[in-house]
Amino acid sequence: MPRDTGTALLREVFGFDAFRPGQGEIVDAVAQGRDVLAIMPTGGGKSLCFQLPALMRDGVTLVISPLIALMRDQVRGLQQAGVAAGALTSGNTPEETDAVWAQLAAGELKLLYLAPERLASAGTARMLSRAGISMIAVDEAHCVSQWGHDFRPDYLKIGALRRDLDVPVAAFTATADEETRAEIIARLFADCQPQVFLRGFDRPNIHLAFSAKDKPRQQILEFAKARRGQSGIVYCGTRNKTEALAQAMREDGHAACHYHGGMEADDRRTVEARFSREDGLIVVATVAFGMGVDKPDIRWVAHADLPKSIEAYYQEIGRAGRDGAPAETLTLFGADDIRLRRSQIDEGMAPPERRMADHGRLNALLGLAEALDCRRTVLLRYFGEAAEPCGHCDLCDHPPDVFDGTEAVRKVLSAVLRTGETYGAGYLVDVLTGNLTDKVRQRGHDSLPTFGVGKEFDKRGWTAVIRQMMGRDLLRPDADRHGALVMTDAALPVLRGQDTLCLRRDSISKASAQRMPAVKSMVNEEDAPLLSALKAKRRALSEEARVPAYVIFPDRTLIEMAETRPASLDAMARINGVGAKKLERYGSAFLQVITGADAPPVHPMRRKLAGRVEGSVYDRLMQTQADLTRGTCGTLKPLSCSASILAKVARLKPGDTAGLQRILGDKRQERFGAAFLDVLQDAG
Ligand code: ADP
Ligand code: ZN
């Protein structure tokens, strides 16, 4: 299948000028009918990698996707772009289901979305084998993994379906780790090695930032306040917290709701639907708010509590800014988070090797939280990619104030060891600062040589030192003794004086309090009013069509419109995200907002050619025929060509008189033929 068919469709149907990095190769392989496993970051543009090949190939592409709401949005998006797509899910109205069957029977359907539950019924298998399925695309392929929290037992049936239908499978996921990858290959491809594409993990439009907790509710509220009116997610560690924080958000004047796994399915769906449709809603959620979130224009994600691993962190912040426009994140963390996450791993049911690996993943996240230079470099290094300092994270924005913390760390280790590795951070701080509490006195710890040796910091300072030590896994809470901190082997070199260690000062002293990531506006000042006007138009259109705003146009497309201000439909057609169908549907409406006037009426035939060379050829043919309506001498009987004739000439570009004559007929050929040929030759 030639690449240019792909790029032509990319332009025509989806309105994109170019593939995103990596997409081109994947589209080629899938279009050629290879078995493919593609690992792409969230927002990398996975859906396009099966939607486009589906249009290039004969037959129907079956798409298995885990969530109904997500399928419906994709199907609606495709239909808006003029693609014959349908879904069979329990959420369908009978009419929708009938329409899908009719299109299937007529051989018109190109993409059939199916909920995994349907795979369980024998009827489905029979139906599918008659439906002319020529490829299976599996979205969120990591749902086959029994270890992941997204496990969907019905996904295990895909392997058998692939065998029965004997068609290629293209599987997609954003999950990075080796184990999950191996599991996908084993279960979906029966160990027949598919072609694997591993796309870079960088999401350069997402700003990264961490802050140590210090009045955490206030920190989150301030972050949200600075981004009022933008859609965002706040992830919390517990269900109760989602409710309380959502309430606080509302009191602060935001549109906010909570979401967690303990809610009724209906209530959850309502939140999902509102979030996807409304511009500027904040959802305060547990990680249960995850896969169902396919909204490309989430502008920020905040963590009110530390995620459980670096992979979880990456996936959660990755929900922001899928449309490629700027997005911001803030992750809060504290010693309590570290303790909680460690104990969750230790108390979990997983086998020992798994637990070890989970501690490792948590350590990687803590390393990121306590990083001393560019966070993106640290994050990408974990995923095996080299990177230069990014200039787009909190540490690049404001390099941290660091100091040699070796001495402080040794004092803590000494306190830990001399008290028998039996106490938590609070008690250790009492010993270090010489706080003679009842407990300290009872246990006689006031006579230890370490008692009161830590005058250089206050309670807050030592707490931050201990948190940083936990973050580097020098100290770990003991799973069997609640909260007791024990020394790990990683601390030995420091204890023995073989190694030194830098610590951050700015999370220790109150004076240089946390800096919040600055708010960046999406466009510069003079374009902002136009952008809001375009958004208002989009909101009106989306409410009218009852689809999410981004289905009309994503933020990025509106930003480009506001910045480049296209003055004609041709210029509009060159904006990223404006495909042929959408130009036809919405082009004039948005043009009107930009030019502030009614656009001159354009013949539909001409509109179809907008943005292409053929468009300007058409215009010149039109001009030429207007000049010749009454012949070169200006005295003949008026004669003209219809818009469809002109469009045909512009499209087919006949190179000689005979070809032109076939389109124009004799009379018109005589009047316009020679002049038209000149125009065509001129256009090359
Ligand atoms: P993923 O499933 O990988 O998270 P999506 O398929 O939802 O990502 O795509 C994310 C966003 O990127 C969508 O809004 C999509 O329209 C847009 N997109 C995809 N491919 C391109 C491209 N080649 N050029 C511009 N935008 C694109
Ligand atoms: Zn950076």
pLDDT, tens only, 579-590: 888 999 999 999
Residue to substitute in 3, 26, 48 for testing ligand 1 pocket (most ligand atoms within 8 angstroms of CB): 48
Q: What is the C-alpha to C-alpha distance for residues 387 and 241, in angstroms, rounded to an integer? A: 36
Q: Measure the CA–CA gap between 493 and 473, rounded to whole angstroms.
A: 13
Report the DSSP beta bridge partners of residue 331: 210, 303
Q: Is 41 in the pocket of ligand 1 (CB under 6 A)?
A: no
Whole-angstrom Cα distance, residue 118 to residue 157? 10
Is residue 242 in contact with ligand 1, taking CB distance under 6 Å?
Answer: no
pLDDT, position 513 = 43
The number of residues in the chain equals 684
The mean pLDDT of 568-594, rounded to a whole number, is 91
Question: Using CA of residue 652, residue 653, residue 655, residue 656, what is the dihedral sign?
Answer: positive
How far apart CA 561 and CA 591 sit, in angstroms, is: 9
Report whether residue 61 contacts ligand 1, using a CB cutoff of 6 Å: no
Kindly identify the ligand whose nearest atom is closest to the C-alpha of 318.
1
Residue 632 has φ and ψ, to the nearest 5°, of -65, -30
> Is the predicted pLDDT of residue 184 greater than 80, yes or no?
yes
Task: Give the count of beta carbons closer than 10 Å to the beta carbon of residue 561.
Answer: 25
**CA–CA gap between residue 35 and residue 194 (Å, rounded):** 5
Average of per-residue pLDDT across 635-655: 87
376-421 pLDDT tens trace = 999 988 877 788 999 999 999 998 889 999 999 999 999 999 999 9
Give residue 67's pLDDT: 84
Partners of 206 in the beta sheet?
Answer: 327
Helices of type H across 111-166: 122-130, 158-165
Q: 286: which 2 tokens?
A: 């547990």
Look at 281 and 191; give whichever has higher pLDDT. 281
Torsion angles phi and psi, residue 367, rounded to 5:
-60, -40
**Ligand 1 atom showing the smallest separation from residue 47 Cα:** 6
Predicted confidence at residue 368, as pLDDT, reads 93
383 alpha carbon – ligand 2 mean position (Å): 16
Alpha-carbon dihedral sign for residues 178, 179, 184, 186: positive
Ligand 2 center to residue 514 CA distance, Å? 17
Rounded to 5, what percent of the chain is helix, strand, coil? Answer: 50, 10, 40
Is-contact 372 502, C-beta < 8 A? yes
* Cα 20 to middle of ligand 1, angstroms: 8
Select from 456, 451, 453 the least CA-distant residue to 439: 451
Give the alpha-carbon dihedral of 242, 348, 139, 275, to 10 degrees. 0
Of all protein residues, whose CA lies closest to atom 23 belonging to ligand 1?
19
Q: How far is the CA of 662 from the centre of ligand 1 (A)?
A: 43
Cβ of 40 closer than 6 Å to ligand 1, yes or no, is yes
Q: Find out whether the beta carbon of 507 lies less than 6 Å from any atom of ligand 1.
A: no
Neighbours of 106 (CB within 10 A): 9
Residues 569 and 583 sit within 8 Å (Cβ to Cβ): yes
Q: Is the CB of 566 under 6 A from ligand 1?
A: no
pLDDT digits (tens, 9 = 90+) for 417-469: 999 999 988 899 999 999 999 999 999 999 999 999 999 999 889 988 998 89
Residue ranges with strand state E in 513-621: none
pLDDT of 616-626, one tens digit each? 888 888 888 88
Q: How far is CA 51 from CA 9, 43, 48, 78, in A?
A: 11, 15, 5, 9
Tell me the pLDDT of the chain averaged across its residues.
88
To test the pocket of ligand 1, the residue of 26, 39, 322 to mutate (highest count of ligand atoms within 8 Å of its CB) is 322
Does the CB atom of residue 341 touch ligand 1 within 6 A?
Answer: no
Task: Please tell me the number of the ligand nearest to residue 39's CA.
Answer: 1
- Give the ligand 1 atom nearest the CA of 554: 14
| Residue 614 pLDDT class (50, 70, 90 cuts) | confident
At residue 137, φ and ψ (nearest 5 deg) are -110, 130
C-alpha of residue 203 to centroid of ligand 1, in Å: 12
Ligand 1 centroid from CA 260, angstroms: 27
Give the three-state DSSP class for 248.
helix
For residue 393, the SS3 value is strand
345 phi and psi angles, rounded to 5 deg? -70, -45
Six-digit token string for 400: 């941290």
In eight-state DSSP terms, residue 12 is I
Domains and CATH numbers, the chain: 3-198 (3.40.50.300), 206-373 (3.40.50.300), 402-513 (1.10.10.10), 528-601 (1.10.150.80), 613-682 (1.10.150)
pLDDT at 296: 85
CB–CB of 152/171 below 8 Å? no
* Tokens 């301030």 -> residue: 222
Tokens of 660: 């032109």
Give residue 31's pLDDT.
95
Pocket test for ligand 1, best of 16, 76, 578 (most atoms within 8 A of CB): 16
Work out the number of other CB atoms within 10 angstroms of the CB of residue 548. Answer: 21
DSSP states along 422-471: ---HHHHHHHHHT---HHHHHTTGGGSTTTT--TTS-HHHHHHHHHHHHH
Per-residue model confidence as pLDDT tens digits over 294-329 = 788 899 999 999 998 888 899 899 999 988 889 999
641: burial class by Cβ within 10 Å (0-12, 13-18, 19+)? buried
Contacts of residue 70, Cβ cutoff 8 Å, sequence gap at least 6: 291, 292, 294
Nearest atom within ligand 1 for CA of residue 49: 6
Q: What angle do CA 151, 41, 181 make, to 5 degrees?
A: 45
Residue 319's contacts (CB-CB under 8 Å, 6 or more residues apart) are: 42, 233, 290, 293, 295, 298, 301
* Residue 567, pLDDT above cutoff 50: yes
| pLDDT: which is higher, 615 or 566 | 566
471 and 338 Cβ atoms separated by less than 8 Å:
yes
pLDDT at site 512: 39
The contacts of residue 150 (CB under 8 Å, 6+ apart) are 66, 140, 142, 143, 290, 291
CB 30 within 8 A of CB 50: yes
User: Is residue 580 a contact partner of residue 650, using CB atoms and an 8 Å limit?
Assistant: no
DSSP for residue 11: I
Q: Is 557 in the pocket of ligand 1 (CB under 6 A)?
A: no
Query: Residue 3: its pLDDT value, please?
Result: 52
pLDDT tens digit sequence for 7-53: 889 988 998 888 887 898 899 999 999 999 999 887 788 999 999 99
Structure tokens at 72: 């419906």
Tokens matching residue 620? 């010149």
Decide: 472 and 366 in contact? Cβ < 8 Å: yes
